[in-house]
Each structure stands twice: as structure tokens, then as C-alpha cells.
Structure 1
Amino acid sequence: MLRYQIVPVTPFQQNCTLFWCDETLEGAIVDPGGDAELIKAAVKQNNVNITKVLLTHAHIDHAGATKSIANFFDVKVEGPHKEDQFWIDLIPMQKERFGFSHAEAFTTNRWLDQGDKVHFGNVELDVYFCPGHTPGHVVFVDKETKLAQVGDVLFKGSIGRTDFPRGDHPTLIKSIRENLFPLGDDIQFIPGHGPMSTFGNERRSNPYVADGVA
């Protein structure tokens, strides 16, 4: 069964997430944006054997430490969708703009798309392509425990920004309403920033995507 620990990293307090299988202790690091030593400490504390790095998207606060973490654990990188390659190419520019001294460009080993699956131990995560915040954003869902890591697509009471290059508001709304909400009100999600919520709570009360919002 899937277990997790949220590790807030970077000055943006991005929710890097440590996922692992409680039967095999094999796991994955989702969105290692920075503060690599904090991430390594969480891995050690939980005695997890890291087998891969997973990325929801390639903004620097989610992907800045990808290369150093993947190299340290000697693992491959899976995700995001190929449409985020241009954000990976822009990491040097993002680094200068936001002052992320640790950030490095990297090469992903496997692009992800709608319907793909990722595995570690006995855990299987379903991949959902949810563009809008970035053109290559993906979401990871564990249907057994009804838990999702949604990156910057959806937040408790809010949604992802779409004013960055190649962001698109109508596409983001469509991703949430047509790709995530049908998975069920009882799906609990870890957002890229801030507290957890459920799809049901957001369908009822989120001012941007609740049922009945035009």
C-alpha cells in the first residue's frame, strides 16, 4: 500500500512528496524542487529505497533539484509530459530569475502521457495529462488509497496560475473538471503548495471550479 510524507522545499514551500510501498519500502520522490538535504533526510528517516524521481511539471520550484537527487540515488526521471521540455530548457533562466543557486537542467528518461502508469514496489500510479498551468503537466493518482499528487493544477480553494508562458486558463479548467473530478469526490489530493483537500470539497466550494461556476 502507498505511504507518503510531504517535504516542503524551496522559498515557495513547494510540496515535494516522498511516496513508498509499505511492503517493499521501494519508493519515489515527486517534484524535488530544492533543499535536497531535507529530501534525503526524509528518505533516510523512513528507510526508503528510492527507485525513481517523478515530475508533475518542470517549473523550477518543482524540478530544480531533479538532477542532483537523481544522481545521488542513481535513479531515472519519469515525467512530465514532453510539452514541458521548453521549461526544462529554461531552467538556467528560471534559476537566475528566482535565485535558485542549486538548480540544474536535466534529462528526463521517460515522458508521461494520459493512461500511462508508474510503478515502485507493489504500488501502481495512474498518470493523467492535465495541461493548463504548464502545457506538459501530469497528475499521479493511486486508486487503491484514493490519493493524488496534483502539482499546481488544483489547490484547496484555488487553482494553478495560467499567466506563465504557454499557460492556458480554459485548458486548466477543462483538465480539472473533465480529467480529475470524475475520479470521485473521495479522492484526497496533495497540491503543489499548501494544505491537502479532496476533489469533493473543491467541487462544492472552490470559487474557480465548483459545480455551477460559470
Structure 2
Amino acid sequence: MNYHILPVTAFQQNCTLFWCERTRRAAIIDPGGEPAQLLALIAELKLQPEHILLTHGHLDHVGASVALATALALPITGPHHDDAFLLETLPMQSQMFGFSPVAAFAPARWLNHGDTLTFGDVQLEVLHCPGHTPGHVVFVNTQSQLAQVGDVLFRGAIGRTDLPRGNHRQLLDSIRHFLLPLGDDFRFIPGHGAMSTIGHERRTNPFLASKP
């Protein structure tokens, strides 16, 4: 599996393209904005997107989803249903953060822990990792030892839990129960900022130093 990260919007959210090298079939993860730029990149890479996948319902991760779904005739998949309240309040979120208006929507499919998604020869496993939001999910490709973790874990930090329905204890439990067991060599792409590995965060991330 190959990948490309394109930071979008003023929040520099990492929209990520995953694709099968043999077939060029692809998944678009967290298209937070700038759909024209994303469409141009997809054309440049000669990809054939099959999925628009969402880790969670915050505006900076979902803002261009409907525009891309319409342009590419694709379904929107994810996050977990517990983030429905965030997708329903997108008009309020866009007004609050000074974005162009974004209409509320519901995905074609909600995701649950243990679900799998395929494109070409690639399979992604879904992990439900609540805490930053109640319905946050993570997308894992075991073969490439690579995950898109959204706003659960960052290089040297963890996701915020001071936003509506965030839960700090739950976030730490998600990281310890589902992300750390992936193994130290596992690389991850966070929702913002630089990539890291599980091992690097296990050793150096101050938020993971305390005992459960």
C-alpha cells in the first residue's frame, strides 16, 4: 500500500490518500477541505478512489466530504454512529470556526470496531477509539504497518478532550488497548502534524508515561 498526505484548511489537517500500488484503487481519509486541490492530486496520481472514509465528525476532518462524494460518485463511510451529533451540527461548527457553510449529512455507512474495508489488494481494519470524540475510529493496514489515527494520538501529544463529549480517561484507554498493541514498528499518520511510530510514542510521549 502507498500513501500521500495533503494538509488542508487553516487547521492543516492531514487528509490522507491510501492506495493499492497494483490497481491504483484508493481511499480518501478525512477530506477536511479544499476539494479542488484534492481532486487535482487524485488525477495527478492517477488514482481510482473507492471510499471516502472519516475518522470522526469534526469539521476540519469532514468539510469537503460531500463535495468529493458528489464529484466522484462515491459513498461516505464512517465514523462510528456515536459521532452522529457532530455531523448534525456541521452548520454550527462552520459558523463557529469561520469556515464556508457546511451542511449536515449522514454517511452511507457507519463503522464499528472490527469492520474491514478493501480497495484493490489493500485491506483496512477499523478500530473504534473513543475519547477525542465518542465515535472516533482509526484505520489500520497491518501489511504495511501503517495507520491513520485521526486525532487520537500525535507525535508527542494526544487528542484534545475538552471539546463536546470528549473523555480523557477514555482516550488514554483507547491508545493503550488498541494502538500500543499494534507494536513499536507500526507507523501512524495523525490528524495534524508529523508522522511517528508507536514505539517512539511509547518511549517519549509524556501523556503515556503514567500508569493506567
CA contact (8 A) 1:7 1:38 kept: no
How far did 1:37 drift? 1.3
Residue in 1 aligned with 2:197?
A: 198
How far did 1:107 drift? 2.0
CA contact (8 A) 1:27 1:50 kept: yes
Aligned length, in residue pairs: 212
How far did 1:87 drift? 0.2
Q: 1:102 to 1:46 in 2, by over 3 A?
A: farther
CA contact (8 A) 2:19 2:25 kept: yes
How far did 1:213 drift? 4.8
Cα distance in 1 for partners of 2:93, 2:51 equals 24
Q: Which 4+ residue blocks in structure 1 deviate beyond 3 angstroms?
A: none
Give the TM-score of the pair, scaled to structure 1. 0.97
How far did 1:41 drift? 1.4
- Greater Cα shift, 149-158 or 30-39: 30-39
SS at match of 1:208: helix
SS at match of 1:7: strand
How do 1:19-58 and structure 2 match up within 5 A? 19-58=18-57
Cα distance in 2 for partners of 1:99, 1:119 equals 36
CA contact (8 A) 2:90 2:104 kept: yes
Does 2:24 match 1:12?
no
Question: Which amino acid letter does the alignment assign opposite residue 175 of structure 2?
Answer: I
SS at match of 1:71: helix
Does 2:135 match 1:136?
yes
How do 1:72-151 and structure 2 match up within 5 A? 72-101=71-100, 103-151=102-150
Cα distance in 1 for partners of 2:164, 2:211 equals 26
Question: Which amino acid letter does the alignment assign opposite residue 197 of structure 1?
Answer: S
CA contact (8 A) 1:34 1:102 kept: no
- Greater Cα shift, 133-142 or 114-123: 114-123
CA contact (8 A) 1:207 1:213 kept: no
Gaps of 5+ in 1: none
CA contact (8 A) 1:142 1:148 kept: yes
Does 2:63 match 1:64?
yes
- Greater Cα shift, 98-107 or 53-62: 98-107
Cα distance in 2 for partners of 1:32, 1:107 equals 15
CA contact (8 A) 2:52 2:74 kept: yes
How far did 1:126 drift? 0.5
How far did 1:67 drift? 0.5
Cα distance in 1 for partners of 2:211, 2:44 equals 44
Question: Which amino acid letter does the alignment assign opposite residue 100 of structure 1?
Answer: F
CA contact (8 A) 1:34 1:103 kept: no
How far did 1:19 drift? 1.0
Gaps of 5+ in 2: none
What is the percent sequence identity of the aligned residues? 54
